Amino acid sequence: MVTLDELFAIDSLLTDTERQIRETVRQFGEQRLRPHVAEWFEQGTFPARELAPELGKLGLLGMHLEGYGCAGTSATEYGLACLELEAIDSGVRSMVSVQGSLAMTAIHKYGSEEQKQRWLPELAAGRAIGCFGLTEPDFGSNPGGMRTRAKRDGSDWILSGAKMWITNGSVADVAVVWARTEDGIRGFLVPADTPGFSAREMHHKLSLRASITAELDLDGVRLPADALLPEGRGLAAPLGCLSEARFGIVFGALGAARDSLTAAIDYARTREVFDKPLAAYQLTQAKLADMAVELGKGMLLALHLGRLKDAGGLRPEQVSAGKLNSTREALAIARECRTILGANGITLDYPVLRHANNLESVLTYEGTAEVHQLVLGEALTGSKAFR
């Protein structure tokens, strides 16, 4: 027998440091998170406040950023950490992704030195939690249509509007909020205790239940001039942050796929059907073989994109290709694994349907599968087909 990593000799493609980071995050996930994640999912809760300092101590928050208490790892190392976190649950990786690739990246790329010094060390250590307010109730795939407005009032800004599907929203200490101004779309740092700002946690979810999702309301929120992110101008600014987060998903979704496939293999080897193990039947082996091949191809693509990013040559459409492939194939793998587990596959005793439910969200957020198909279509043809 070979493991899924051994089948494609993945370890031979990694450096010693990459393997060490992967194993450290994997061990943390198995020991600290896995024993509780099914309960968090069932109860629809996530102990973000409790876990953030632990994640910060491991250096996982904003780990790919330089300075200000951040670990300064490579993109590939960050991707491997995302993979191991999502092997536990997509909600865990989402929390880390939103904190580091969205909120912290926005401050790191577009903030003033004072903003960086104020927030980045706190966010990196997990002493503070951040969220990223771009999506609105009526504007998901088309963020350029946002209705949230920021108007000048003397030297201050007044923000009004609403944001929806905001991970970490109701536990965040600071929100990066994007709004339309007379000068185009700009970003603002909104401390959670600012009058007029409120966050309402969203319930009744069937996906990403072990994750905090909120709706943000901005009712005449008055901010000083220095709340503006000085270098974040136009829609390209928040989309640049989204590209960072999508890169983490390229790796992360494969973690959910690997965990599902590992559970299915273990189950098939021990479950007896008609007096022999389920794994001994041709149909089962065909399913397992096809899924292993897709997982292996996804890993090779993810590592290739990681190397390109570390070399400074990764293009947005390549991130789209990775996000589309990883999420689509991971969801297909989780669903197929459920068929191997039969009725047992619908329980939280096994991770596969939990992963499948989560991946329905991962397929959708930070660019739906259809949006990424159109990004690739435009790259291939030179013609835009979004409208």
Catalytic residue of the set 201, 366, 370, 378: 366
Residue 262 has what pLDDT? 98
Last residue of a domain, one of 93, 125, 157: 125
What confidence tier does 140 reach under pLDDT thresholds 50, 70, 90? confident
Whether 377 is covered by a domain: the verdict is yes
Answer for the pair 299, 8: CB distance below 8 angstroms, yes or no: yes
Same domain? For 280 and 211 the reply is no
Residue 258 has what pLDDT? 98
Q: What angle do CA 236, 240, 241 make, to 5 degrees?
A: 130
DSSP per position, 246-265: HHHHHHHHHHHHHHHHHHHH
What is the Cα Rg of the chain in Å? 21
Same domain? For 308 and 254 the reply is yes
Same domain? For 193 and 247 the reply is no
Same domain? For 276 and 172 the reply is no
pLDDT score of 280 more than 90: yes
Answer for the pair 326, 298: CB distance below 8 angstroms, yes or no: yes
SS3 for 128-163 is: CCEEEECCECCECCCHHHCCCEEEEECCEEEEEEEE
Same domain? For 352 and 366 the reply is yes
H-type alpha helices, 206-351: 236-270, 282-310, 316-341
Determine how β-strand 149-153 pairs with β-strand 156-167. antiparallel
What confidence tens digit (pLDDT) does each residue in 329-349 have?
999 999 999 999 999 999 999
Same domain? For 325 and 220 the reply is no
Answer for the pair 154, 168: CB distance below 8 angstroms, yes or no: no
Whether 387 is covered by a domain: the verdict is no
Residue 139 has what pLDDT? 83
CA dist., res. 321 & res. 315, Å (int):
10
For residues 179-198, average pLDDT: 97
Task: Name 213's bridge partners.
Answer: 167
Answer for the pair 355, 259: CB distance below 8 angstroms, yes or no: yes
For residues 270-277, average pLDDT: 96
Residue 142 has what pLDDT? 82
Residue 1 has what pLDDT? 85
Same domain? For 172 and 300 the reply is no
What confidence tier does 143 reach under pLDDT thresholds 50, 70, 90? confident
Neighbour tally for 234: CB within 10 Å: 13
Contacts of 335 (CB under 8 A, 6+ apart): 356
Torsion angle of alpha carbons 254, 256, 261, 262, nearest 10°?
110
Residue 41 has what pLDDT? 98
Which helix (H) or strand (E) element contains residue 213? Answer: strand 213-223
Domain CATH number, residue 183: 2.40.110.10
Answer for the pair 274, 103: CB distance below 8 angstroms, yes or no: no
Answer for the pair 212, 46: CB distance below 8 angstroms, yes or no: yes
Burial degree of 282 (CB within 10 A; 0-12, 13-18, 19+):
exposed
Whether 179 is covered by a domain: the verdict is yes
User: How much of the chain, in percent, has pLDDT values that exceed 70?
Assistant: 100
Same domain? For 15 and 102 the reply is yes
CA dist., res. 341 & res. 333, Å (int):
13
Answer for the pair 326, 302: CB distance below 8 angstroms, yes or no: yes
Whether 108 is covered by a domain: the verdict is yes
- Per the prediction, the chain carries an average pLDDT of 96
pLDDT score of 144 more than 90: no
Answer for the pair 259, 89: CB distance below 8 angstroms, yes or no: no
Full residue range of the structural domain in which residue 100 is found:
4-125
Lookup: tokens for 304:
């290739």
Closest C-alpha to 375, from 366, 384, 363: 384
CA dist., res. 239 & res. 8, Å (int):
33
What confidence tier does 138 reach under pLDDT thresholds 50, 70, 90? confident
Lookup: tokens for 220:
């005449």
Same domain? For 301 and 230 the reply is no
What confidence tens digit (pLDDT) does each residue in 245-264 have?
999 999 999 999 999 999 99
Last residue of a domain, one of 193, 214, 234: 234
What confidence tens digit (pLDDT) does each residue in 39-87 have?
999 999 999 999 999 999 999 999 999 999 999 999 999 999 999 999 9
What confidence tens digit (pLDDT) does each residue in 357-370 have?
999 999 999 899 99
Query: For the chain, what is the domain count?
Result: 3
Same domain? For 241 and 373 the reply is yes
Whether 386 is covered by a domain: the verdict is no
Whether 284 is covered by a domain: the verdict is yes
Lookup: tokens for 207:
């996906």
Residue 181 has what pLDDT? 96
Same domain? For 312 and 347 the reply is yes
Least confident of 133-142, 148-157, 235-244, 298-307: 133-142
Residue 189 has what pLDDT? 98
Domain CATH number, residue 375: 1.20.140.10
Residue 387 has what pLDDT? 80
CA dist., res. 127 & res. 298, Å (int):
35
Neighbour tally for 41: CB within 10 Å: 22
Last residue of a domain, one of 102, 125, 148: 125
Whether 259 is covered by a domain: the verdict is yes
SS3 for 206? coil
387 or 327, which is more confident? 327
Closest C-alpha to 131, from 161, 156, 94: 94
Whether 358 is covered by a domain: the verdict is yes
Same domain? For 121 and 159 the reply is no
Q: Is 366 a catalytic residue?
A: yes
1 or 230, which is more confident? 230
What confidence tier does 5 reach under pLDDT thresholds 50, 70, 90? confident
